[in-house]
Structure 1
Amino acid sequence: MKTSNPVLSRLGQAAERERSAGYGPYGPAGQGQPGYGQQAGYGQPAYGEAYPTATGYPASPPAVQPMTIDDVVVKTVTLLGITGISAVAAWNLIPDSATGAAWIGAALVGLVLGLVISFMRVANPALVVAYAVIEGVFVGMVSKTFESFYSGIVLQAVVATFGVFFLMAILYRAKVIRATPKFTRAIISIMAGLFAVMLINFVLALFGVNTGLRDNGALGIIFSLVCIVVASLSFILNFNEIEEGVRMGLPQRYSWTAAFGILVGLIWLYIEILRLLSFLQGGDD
């Protein structure tokens, strides 16, 4: 179970440990095959055989269902729905006087949760759902602020975001863009660099230092364009992780991790498109 993707390697190792403990996939993908590190002991049925029960009828051994594409789609739609509901609620319930505080607070909490989810070795649906709720507040406050200056800009950004997402899905499906090891390393490195720059810029802004990186100028427009391109290409990594995860037989709960990756990319892309549209309309935010 080898892969050049570090995320998949980590998830693959976690799945391997589950199978080593005797919880390998059972059914079409694993029926009749011995579990990793599992041997039939004295008086125990071999793997793939039925377990006797008090009623005399055979029962299958415990199993962990493998992840499927449908699982990821359902989880992604669920997270998007939660994020959308949270955004609408924040837009309507949080007063204008608290918009800035809610925006910054949600951004910081979301960043911490995102890092925890990204680096932990076990998928945690509760944390992923909590992330969607917090990011919904962040997206709602950002959207409300931009919409107050530019009427209709939120709808334009939403349409553009999903348009880019489906375009990348088509390009990946048609194998126009593939997640080769070199491509994967390059995108991950660039993303890490961009997030580091944005985090530094955010901290400096809190102390009143304006770098011009997020202003309506040549530097701000170029940086937003770079972020949009990289955010778009990050979906190729997501699609590849999902495809490889299904092939590797990762447990079903890892579909939450895959859906989380897509949600992060969509939110990032949406915010960058929203900002770029405001620049093109002559705004300075």
Structure 2
Amino acid sequence: MAYANYNTSNPVFSSYIWKYNRSSASKMTLNGVIIKSIFSLVLVGLTTWYVWDLVNKGEDVQYYTYGGMIAAIVFSIITSYKKKWSPITTPLYALSKGLFLGGISAYAEAKFEGMPMRAVGVTLLTFFIMLILYKARIVIVTKRFRSVLITAIITIMSIYIISWILNIFGINTPYIWGTSWFAIGFNIIAAIVASFSLLLDFDFIDRKINKAPKYYEWVATWGLLVTLIWLYVEVIRLMKKLAIRF
């Protein structure tokens, strides 16, 4: 399959971002991706814990939460256009995203004790289940599989963007953010799509091992963080809705 025609659900792994010079001597390895992913997750955990501790001290972390979210978007854009900067921008993305996660997780903990840790557990369990399904070839990533999943992701993200814009103008979207059965169903679908997008990411990284330049290990790490954090956010949102509903 031609490289330029290969698609994945995660925009991080698009053909534009994954263009590289094939003459590069040092190549991307699986161990490199694993080590950098673990390191980046530790960074996420550190800033998450920092903001969480501020909440416990009674401080307002709204600026940390929204500032982290905006910074994460900025570093994502920089990484997508300046891939050689990824050894710097990916750790910065992880730190920024941790600030955002710290805010929403501390809020969830205050309302529903133990929920964030349960959401982390579900996210990690889902990650390993998807990895087993991929490695055991129980689920095979085909062209049709990719097309359906990409369409689902684009649809979900479009709905989120539209609802965010409407909320800015004071128009509520309870069918997305509320606790109705429709909102819960939508959240479940989004979580499932986020889970299965990991399969596409595994597949794409697998194809590029020992082919892409060494610094792409950081780009791959960034892509996995994007998917894992999206999955965590969907899981914790679903848990909150179910807790309120019942």
- Please, what TM-score do these two structures have when normalized by structure 1? 0.76
Is 1:232 the counterpart of 2:195 in the alignment?
yes
SS of the residue corresponding to residue 179 of structure 1 reads coil
What SS class does the counterpart of residue 146 from structure 1 fall into? Answer: helix
Query: Are 2:110 and 1:148 aligned?
Result: yes
Counterpart CA distance in 2 for 1:200 and 1:228 is 19
Q: 1:66 to 1:261 in 2, by over 3 A?
A: same
Name the stretch that deviates more: 271-280 or 198-207. 198-207
In 2, distance between residues paired with 1:66 and 1:260? 17
Shift of 1:97: 5.4
Distance in 2 separating the partners of 1:98 and 1:206: 22
Indicate which of 145, 148, 154 corresponds to 1:192.
154
Contact 1:146/1:153 (<8 A) preserved = yes
- Point out 4+ residue stretches in structure 1 off by more than 6 angstroms: none
Normalised to the residue count of structure 2, the TM-score between the two structures is 0.88
Which structure is larger by alpha-carbon Rg, 1 or 2? 1
How many angstroms does 1:129 deviate by?
A: 1.0
| Number of equivalenced pairs | 238
Aligned position for 2:171: 209
What letter is aligned with 2:181? A
Equivalent residues of 1:90, 1:141 under 8 A apart: yes
Matched, 1:244 2:245: no
Q: Is the 8 A contact 2:115 2:239 kept in 1?
A: yes
Identify the match of residue 220 of structure 1 among 166, 179, 183. Answer: 183
8 Å CA contact retained: 1:117, 1:123: yes
Q: Deviations over 1:164-196 (max 9, x none)?
A: 000000000111122222222332232222222
Q: How does 1:91-102 map to 2 (within 5 A)?
A: 91-93=52-54, 96=58, 98-102=60-64
Identity %: 28
Tell me: higher relative CO, structure 1 or 2? Use CA pairs within 8 A at least 6 residues apart: 2
**1:106-185 equivalence runs, <5 A:** 106-118=68-80, 120=82, 122=84, 124-185=86-147
Aligned to 2:10: none
AA aligned to 2:133 is: L
Range moving further from structure 2, 70-79 or 211-220: 211-220
